[in-house]
């Protein structure tokens, strides 16, 4: 695959993704005023979560696209007295918003199942704080086009704990209550990490592994679609503990 072909595949996919995710965010925001009152808070939380994801990815994708248009991904700008590449600034923006995405997903789990956060939930909040602190350190070299190793791993380990921990809590309680929506949400989070983790660990040795970010991204779109489809269903936010089929 030539560099030009790879560039256009990336641009077309990213633009399609942004249109899809922003469309779902806007649709959920519009639906939030029409859903039953007992659903409204969860709908707003889903809208916030995916709004954060879309905002960060808009910076990430938008700055990369701008770099391509300018003919140089190494194009830099000065922010708070520091020189940063457009790509580095975009990577920083999406790294921040995805951290808060999983914070909101943890709140969604608590609201859905009415469970205390407990020590494990507090640990997941703590890993979000640790990740944000790690991303502030100069060793990240956000101004570079290529993320430095091993700091890419250091700052992504807390995100793995966040996401996999949230998936565990969601699946644990969804299975107990036979909650079909959140079973699918939890599985899709695991799917996204199944594609993401090889990229974090091995993309430096095998650059083509970067293509796994496409199915990883599609898993997030699928979660957003499930959340939007749920806003169109009647009923309460809680699933019965045991569901039976109609006679």
pLDDT digits (tens, 9 = 90+) for 178-189: 999 999 999 999
pLDDT at site 241:
39
- Cα separation, 21 vs 53, whole angstroms: 9
Global pTM value: 0.88
- Cα separation, 179 vs 170, whole angstroms: 10
pLDDT at site 141:
83
Residue 201: pLDDT above 60? yes
| Fold that domain 3-231 belongs to in CATH | Rhopdopsin 7-helix transmembrane proteins (1.20.1070)
Burial of residue 181 (CB within 10 Å: 0-12, 13-18, 19+) is: middle
Buried b (16+ CB within 10 A) or exposed e, 197-236: bebbeebeeeeebebbbeebbbbbbbbbebbbebbeeeee
Cα separations in angstroms, 154 against 133, 158, 160: 11, 8, 11
Cα separations in angstroms, 90 against 57, 67, 94: 8, 11, 6
In this structure, what is the dihedral angle of CA atoms 141, 147, 148, 153, given to the nearest 10 degrees?
110
- Cα separation, 118 vs 106, whole angstroms: 12
pLDDT at site 80:
62
Buried b (16+ CB within 10 A) or exposed e, 14-37: beebbebbbebbebbbebbeebee
> Chain-wide mean pLDDT for the chain?
87
Band (pLDDT 50/70/90 cuts) for residue 82 is low
Residue 236: pLDDT above 60? no
What is the 3-state composition of the chain as percent helix, strand, coil, each rounded to the nearest 5? 75, 5, 20
- Ordered alpha helix ranges (H), 114-245: 118-136, 151-177, 180-202, 213-231
pLDDT digits (tens, 9 = 90+) for 129-151: 999 999 999 888 887 767 788 89
Band (pLDDT 50/70/90 cuts) for residue 75 is low
The angle at the Cα of 215, spanning 210 to 221, to the nearest 5 degrees, equals 130
Contact 53, 101 (CB under 8 A): yes
3-state secondary structure of 47: helix
């Amino acid at each position: 695959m030539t560099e030009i072909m790879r560039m256009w595949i990336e641009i077309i996919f990213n633009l399609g993704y942004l249109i899809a995710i922003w469309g779902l965010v806007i649709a959920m925001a519009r639906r939030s005023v029409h859903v039953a009152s007992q659903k409204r808070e969860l709908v707003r939380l889903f809208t916030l979560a995916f709004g954060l994801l879309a905002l960060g990815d808009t910076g990430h994708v938008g700055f990369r696209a701008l770099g391509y248009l300018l003919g140089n991904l190494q194009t830099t700008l000065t922010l708070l007295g520091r020189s940063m590449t457009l790509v580095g600034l975009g990577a920083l923006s999406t790294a921040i918003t995805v951290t808060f995405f999983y914070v909101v997903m943890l709140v969604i789990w608590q609201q859905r199942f009415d469970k205390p956060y407990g020590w494990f939930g507090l640990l997941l909040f703590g890993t979000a704080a640790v990740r944000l602190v790690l991303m502030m350190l100069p060793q990240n070299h956000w101004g570079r086009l290529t993320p430095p190793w091993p700091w890419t791993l250091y700052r992504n380990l807390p995100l793995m704990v966040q996401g996999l921990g949230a998936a565990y809590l969601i699946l644990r309680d969804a299975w107990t209550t036979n909650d079909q929506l959140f079973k699918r949400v939890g599985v899709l989070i695991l799917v996204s990490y199944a594609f993401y983790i090889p990229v974090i660990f091995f993309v430096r040795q095998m650059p083509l592994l970067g293509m796994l970010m496409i199915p990883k991204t599609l898993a997030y779109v699928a979660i957003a679609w499930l959340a939007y489809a749920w806003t169109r269903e009647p009923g309460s936010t809680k699933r019965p503990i045991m569901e039976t089929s109609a006679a």
